[in-house]
Amino acid sequence: MQELDCYSGNDMMYVATDCIVFGFSSDELKLLIFPRRVEPNKGAWSLIGSFVTLDEDVDSAAQRVLEQITGLEHVFFEQLKTYGAADRDSGYRCISVAQYALIRIGEYDRELVEKHGAYWYKLDEVPPLCLDHDQMVRDALTELRRKARYQPIGFELLPEKFTLPQLISLYEAIYQKKLDPRNFRKKILSLNVLTKLEEKDKSNSKKGAYFYKFNSENYKRLLESGYHFEL
């Protein structure tokens, strides 16, 4: 059909997608990693990933991987960067589209995770990973920090109902520094993107902390009004 096309004579290669999966529990950011079960680098720690097939979108491949491992259909994930060094994979030429994902620890299917031999590591205790996965994690963390300042993605790491002390602790974990609870409250509440619930969480104190949930309608309205969100 095509007289002169642009494909013939060019090289084909494998395309993979790898997921940097973050979670949050016990006031710590965690990373989900796996012992690799195939050569090359069998046995080494690795991010979870998969090859992209001919008939699926790159993003669908990431979604498939995340669903396989967590059992959750809707997980927040976003493209981080593509790693395309010619020598990045010692086996055969393969580029990887890295995605970072934020999941609510507790909501995913523990069995599924354990079946894959996965472990949650505290971010500062992650062992060396195979290939260029260490670099991916560093880049994802940088991106998470950047992004969390301008967009309320932090909520993806918390249960649907969360308390302000939890939220503060999350941001402290992301930025690795103490925040002033008064100023933090003032700022986040002034944005009008949190809905206060009647219910209290008494698991951490006698007094109990009110639950809030994220109000995405108000957030949308805030964005539409041209507001420059920042935490």
Partner DNA sequence: ACAAAAGTGTTACGTGTACACCCATGA
Partner DNA sequence: TCATGGGTGTACACGTAACACTTTTGT
Which residues, other chains included, contact 106 with Cβ-Cβ below 8 Å and sequence gap of 6+?
A: 25, 159
* 225 part of the interface to its own copies, by CB under 8 A: no
- Shortest spacing between CB 52 and its own copies, in angstroms: 7
- Nearer to DNA by C-beta: 100 or 162? 162
For DNA, the binding residues in 142-171 under the rule CB under 7 A are: 163-165
Round to whole Å and give the CA distance between 191 and 132.
Answer: 39
- Shortest spacing between CB 42 and its own copies, in angstroms: 8
- Shortest spacing between CB 24 and DNA, in angstroms: 16
Which residue matches tokens 């472990």?
A: 119
Determine the interface stretch with DNA among 24-32, 64-72, 203-211, 218-226 (rule: CB under 7 A).
Answer: 203-211
Round to whole Å and give the CA distance between 139 and 123.
Answer: 13
Taking residues 15 to 54 in sequence order and writing x for each that binds its own copies by CB under 8 A, - otherwise, the string is x----------------------xxx----------xxxx
Determine the interface stretch with its own copies among 22-30, 91-99, 178-186, 190-198 (rule: CB under 8 A).
Answer: 91-99
Buried b (16+ CB within 10 A) or exposed e, 213-222: ebbeeebeeb
Q: Which of 28, 67, 72, 79 binds its own copies (CB under 8 A)?
A: 79
In 3D space, the residue among 143, 148, 125, 112 whose CA is nearest the CA of residue 230 turns out to be: 148
Provide the 10 A C-beta neighbour count for residue 18: 24
Angle between helices 164-175 and 181-190 (to 10 degrees): 110
At residue 113's C-alpha, the angle toward residues 50 and 16, to 5°, is: 10
- Nearer to its own copies by C-beta: 148 or 157? 148
* 187 part of the interface to DNA, by CB under 7 A: yes
In 3D space, the residue among 221, 229, 228 whose CA is nearest the CA of residue 188 turns out to be: 229
* 24 part of the interface to DNA, by CB under 7 A: no
* 210 part of the interface to DNA, by CB under 7 A: yes
Tell me which of its own copies, DNA, none is bound by residue 52, counting a contact when its beta carbon lies within the kind-specific cut-off of 5 to 8 angstroms: its own copies
Residues in contact with its own copies by CB under 8 A are 2-7, 10-15, 38-40, 51-60, 79, 81-82, 84-86, 91-95, 97
